[in-house]
Each structure stands twice: as C-alpha cells, then as structure tokens.
Amino acid sequence: MVMEIVCPAGTPAALRAAVKAGAHTIYCGFADETNARNFPGLNFSRAEMAEGIAFAHARGAKVLVAINTYPRAGDESLWHAAVADAETAGADAVILADLGLLAYAAGNHPNLRRHLSVQAAAANADIINFYGAEFGVKRVVLPRVLSVPEIAAINKETEIETEVFVFGGLCVMAEGRCSLSSYATGLSPNMNGVCSPASHVDYVEDAGALSAKLGGYTIHAVGADEPAPYPTLCKGCFTAGEKTAHLFEDPVSLNAEHLIPQLAKAGVTALKIEGRQRSRSYVAQVVKNFRAAVEAVDQGRALPEGMLARLSEGQAVTTGAYKKTWR
Amino acid sequence: MELTVGPNQFFWKAEEWGALYQDLATAPVERLVLGELVCSKRLPFYQNAILPALETLVDAGKEVLLTSLALVTLKRERKMTAELAEAGVEVEINDLTALAHLPEGARFAVGPLVNVYNEGTLAWLATKGAKRVCLPPELPLASVETLVRAGQEMGLAVEVWGHGRVPLAISGRCYHARLHGRIKDNCLFACEDDPDGLEVDTTDGKPFLSMNGVQTLSDSCASMAYQIETLRDIGVSALRLSPQSVGFVETCGLYRRRLNGEIDADTLSDELVKVSGGMRLSDGFLTGERGADWSGKAA
C-alpha cells in the first residue's frame, strides 16, 4: 500500500494547493490557541474549515484537525467546542494530546476518529496500546526521539497506525514535554501553541556583531553581514564548560526522504510534513516530491533524486533520531 | 502545607546518594520520592542503595514513593517500568507508560513531568487511582488555583514545584555526551561530573540553562519563598523540594521554618542562596511574565 502523505495547511489556500499537489491527507487547526501553530494570520475559521474539508473530500483527500495544545484550567470549553466543531465540519479525525480532552472526545464524540498528537510523546508500544485501549486512538504520531529499528519494533507490537515526521522543523526535545520557551518568554507550545515566539525576538547590532535574542537571552550572534538564523531556543549557540557551540542542536531541519523505504519496511502508515506556517508554493513542492517518492517505493522503484534540500531551513538537514548516532 | 522531596534529578555516586537519604531521615519533610527519573543508564550504579534508603526513611516515619523514568523508549526501560508496579511501594508516574503497567485501581501519584494542565485531565487521573498530583512547574497561579479546587472535590492532593532547578525538557539525545563528542550509547557517564547539572550560558555570559544528560533544566533555582501564604490560602497540599548537592538538608529545614512562620520570605531566600553556595532564584512561572523572573529582591 502507498504510504499516506500528511501535509500541513496554515491557510485555506495552502490546503487547496496541497490537495491539488497530491496530498492524501491535510492537517490544519482552528485560528485560536487550541492548536500548536497558533501564529498570527494562520489557521482556519469555522466556515473556512467546513469549506476546506468539502474541497478535500470532493477530491478524495482527508482532513485532520489538530487540537493539540493542553486546555487551560477553567477554560476547557474552548477546546471542547473545537472538537465538536471539527466533527460538525466533517473532519476525518482530530489530533489530540491532552488526556482530559481525549477522554472528553471519546465520551462525547465517539464516532469522530482520534489520532494521538506528537505532543503526547508516546514513545513505546505499551503506552501506545494504552492510549488505544483507553481512548480508542486509531493512529499515533510518534515523537522525534525514536530510531527506525525502534519504530519497526513498535509497529510489531501494536495494531494502532503510526505516523512519523519526515520533513520540516525538528523538535530536539520530546514534544509536549518542553517548557524552554516559556522559561525565556512566558509562552509555550503546550499552553499557547507557540515556541520561541516572534513577539519576543530582538535583533541587536553591537560592535559589528548581530545578536538574535529571545526574551533578552542571546540565542545566536553572527557577523553583521552574515545571515542571522531565527532564534529558536534549542538550536541556539551557548557556552558550557570550555565549549561554545550549538549544544543542543545545530540550526538544521529534518529531511528523512532517503529513509522512506526503511520507514515503509518498518510498518509506518503515514509520513508527516511539518510546517503549517509555510507558504502554499512550499507545501505544493514538498507534497509533489514526497508523493512521487512513496509511489516509487510502493512500486519497488528507486527514489527520485532529492529535490528538497533547497526548501530546508538554512540548507542544513538532518535525519534526527531516526539514526541512532544522533543521540 | 507538607514538604515532599522529589527524586534526585542528577547522577551522584552511590555513597553520596545514600548519604543524602540518611540525612533526610531526620529532616522535617513528610514525603520522599526515590529512584531514577532522568536516565536508565544511571540506575545500576546506585540501585543497591535504594532499598536500604527506603527502609531507613520508612522507619523514620516518612512516606516513600518510587518514581518512574521521565521518558521510556528502550525495551530495558519498559521492563524497568513494568517492574516498578511490582515493588510494593506507591509509584509516582512521570511518564504515562508507568500507569499502563499499574494494576487496575492501584493507588498512585503523578509527578511534575506528566502534563496535567486542566480539570479534565485531573479527573481522568483520579478515576484511575491518582491520590496526589505534583503540577507541571510551568503552570501559572490561576491554573494552580483552579486545579487545587478541582482536586479537593475529587479527593486528590495537589502539590507544586517549591524549590530546585526546574526540569524544562527531556530528549532522546544526551547533551552531556554531545558536549564531549560522544553519543548516548557510549556516553562514558559524562554527567557524573556535574552533581547539580552543567551551567549553560549565553555567548554573552548570561547564565541560562543547566544540562543534565538527556534533561535540560533552568539555571535558576525556583523558590516559592514569596508565595507560601498564597499557596497555603488556595489549598496547595505540599511543596516539592528537589535535591541539590550542597546544603539540601538545611534547605528543607529552612522551608519548614518558613511554613511555621519562624522566618520571612526575605530571610528564607537569603539563607537559600547562602547554604547552596550562591544559587540564583526564580519564581516566574507562578507569578511572573516568564519562568526565569524572580519576584524577590535582587541578589
């Protein structure tokens, strides 16, 4: 079976572009803090969601609605409404991370398919099967801490479908278990759907150096004429002991296109592309490449030559934890 | 309010690990959580010290729990986690995998590394048998207040992060190994040299984070010194104190004196800095703009 390409859409235009480019499935979110890409100018109103889903369904594509932040105490109704509205809009599934929200969705919307978000960081077969038994989860998006052999081992021990990230931004920490961003800025992926938010970024020029700061902390410093990468906290340059370096991760993004045959062999159902904040032309290009790749793998042909490097952040790419030596 | 000593987050030699709990047997704390939270590779080095420590503490009248790992991926880690349920000691789950192994209806506690952000999650955990939850350190006061109230209705005690470097992230990658040009499988236990984590500074020299193997913590030590009355008034049941290598027993005593009204917040924070040898303090997650902020007087 051809592996499913799961593609991000931050706007209705990106959704249509992804469907036309051949994405099997689109994931998107409502324009509020219920989803983990809560950026200004992104995401869908209720009406846009219904229209987008109708557009996708008419062309044989599915739409998943990500409601994958952790509901705020006292305000859970906002997240409950998002689940109800996703069902009303015709979503093929919701992508959830919070235990309380999973229990709510399973109890109140039993016919709405539930996927487990990467933000739940379910990293072994025991916990994946537990989510299946407790909440009827049908698919789990695996955290970016696992090697390909570990993914294969998980698939041998579970009936629940697995989806893995293959392209785009790379979390270095276990997803949904990181409060680095709120330590420096007060805003976090879990609570606010943002990481290293632009609202807290400053570029400061001093003595021929350009510092990119987040919440007042210098994340990178480069020569004034060098390109300054965005100050994503975990990809910053810091000093520990005698060493100054990118101690956590280099400013790289994930590209696992060459691992697609191995991921297929490992029993992975779906390949996920990160980037709801990306343009529709980017999305369309990435989808075309990955669609061609999964069809080649399905037909036993060699992978088409890599076309994706130029789309990657700062040109530098990694296969992350899929190779054990990354750890 | 009670005092709970959380699991030691760092890698200490077995003698030092054991000595801490010997000393804590007479410290004014109600409860201690023992075991390995951060890295399964560390456990064999002090595993044999756990049972004696546990017995000493129970004999001293303390409540003792065993923690699960914070991130369970390997086969050996899954086995370790399953075996926890058979130890006959109440388990504090810090990865939900541990809950999957507990017998139906067993009483358990929930540690700060499980995402408990709202009443729905609290209620679900209560139906599973949770009796005590230490909330994630990043929660603001308004959330803590709502969750304490909800917990009271469910018969569930709510605890907050009271003192210690804040656990901010856990990863598949070992940063100590990376720093030394190694990989996790061949780490040579680089984290052993840093019993409170290794300070990570910005390139312009500002202390920022702390590296502890696969874990990243704050550089600053969170302290609820100035929030004691507020937390008590809203019904928080306990403060969690996280072990540090210098002055920890004194630290427990200082918090007890503060809870008893014998010292004020200024004195507590001054003394905390003194007994630890100069740590920086923060309490911003609870009441500030951001986690790193400190509401007390400048150091």
**Is B155 inside a domain boundary?**
yes
pLDDT in the model for residue A145: 87
Say whether both A272 and A221 belong to one domain: no
Residue B190 lies in a domain: no
Number of domains in chain B: 1
- The answer to whether the pTM exceeds 0.90 is yes
Phi, psi of B248 (to 5 degrees): -75, -40
Average pLDDT over residues A283-304: 92
Tell me the mean pLDDT in the region A308-320. 67
From A191, A212, A245, the end of a domain falls on: A245
Same domain, A235 and A270: no
Q: Say what the pLDDT of residue A123 is.
A: 95
Residues 6+ apart with CB under 8 A from B132: B109, B110, B156, B157, B158, B159, B237, B238
User: Is B37 in CB contact (< 8 Å) with chain A?
Assistant: no
- Whether A74 and chain B come into contact, CB under 8 Å, resolves to yes
A139 lies in the same domain as A276: yes
| Paired tokens of A104 | 């709510």
Domain co-membership, A217 together with A321: no
B48 touches chain A (CB under 8 A): no
pLDDT tens-digit readout, B114-125: 999 999 999 999
Residue A234: which residues within 8 A CB-CB, separation 6 or more?
A: A171, A172, A173, A178, A180, A248, A249, B169
- Name the residue range of residue B229's domain: 2-166+218-287
Q: What is the pLDDT of residues B256-270, one digit of tens each?
A: 999 999 999 999 999
Shared domain check, A199 and A52: no
Whether the pLDDT of residue A312 is over 60: the answer is no
**Domain's final residue, options A219, A245, A271:** A245
For residue A175, being part of any structural domain is answered with: no
A144/A41 same-domain check: yes
* A25 and A107, same domain (yes or no): yes
Domain extent, residue A186, equals 180-245
What ipTM is given for this predicted complex? 0.96
User: In angstroms, what separates the C-alpha of A95 from chain B's closest C-alpha?
Assistant: 16
- Answer yes or no: is pLDDT of A135 > 80: yes
Contact at CB, A126 and B124, closer than 8 angstroms: no
At B244 the three-state DSSP class reads: coil
Mind listing the pLDDT tens digit for each residue in B135-192? 999 999 999 999 999 999 999 999 999 999 999 999 999 999 999 999 898 899 999 9
Residues of B in contact with A104 (CB under 8 A): 120
What is the pLDDT at residue A151? Answer: 96
How much is the average pLDDT of A225-246? 92
**A140 lies in the same domain as A240:** no
Domain end position, chosen among A200, A228, A245: A245
Instruction: Compute how many other C-beta atoms are within 10 angstroms of the C-beta atom of residue B259.
Output: 17
CATH of the domain at A32: 3.20.20.70
- DSSP state letter for B262: S
For the segment B35-54, the average pLDDT, to the nearest whole number, is: 96
Provide the domain count of chain A.
2
- Per 3-state DSSP, chain B is made up of helix, strand and coil in percentages (nearest 5) of 40, 20, 40
Among residues B180, B203, B208, the alpha carbon closest in space to that of B193 is found at B180
Q: Indicate the SS3 state at residue B100.
A: helix
Q: What pLDDT digit, counting tens, does each position of B53-93 carry?
A: 999 999 999 999 999 999 999 999 999 999 998 888 999 99
| Residue at B32 is within a domain | yes
What is the reported pLDDT for A275? Answer: 86
Q: Are B97 and A240 within 8 A, CB to CB?
A: no
Find chain B residues with C-beta within 8 A of A153's C-beta. 75
More confident residue, B91 or A221: B91
Tell whether A250 is within 8 A of chain B (Cβ). Answer: no
Residue A239 lies in a domain: yes
Residues A27, A92 within the same domain: yes
Residues A188, A149 share a domain: no
Once rounded to an integer, what is the mean pLDDT over residues A191-209?
91
CA A261 to chain CA mean position, Å: 21
pLDDT of B299 higher than 60: no
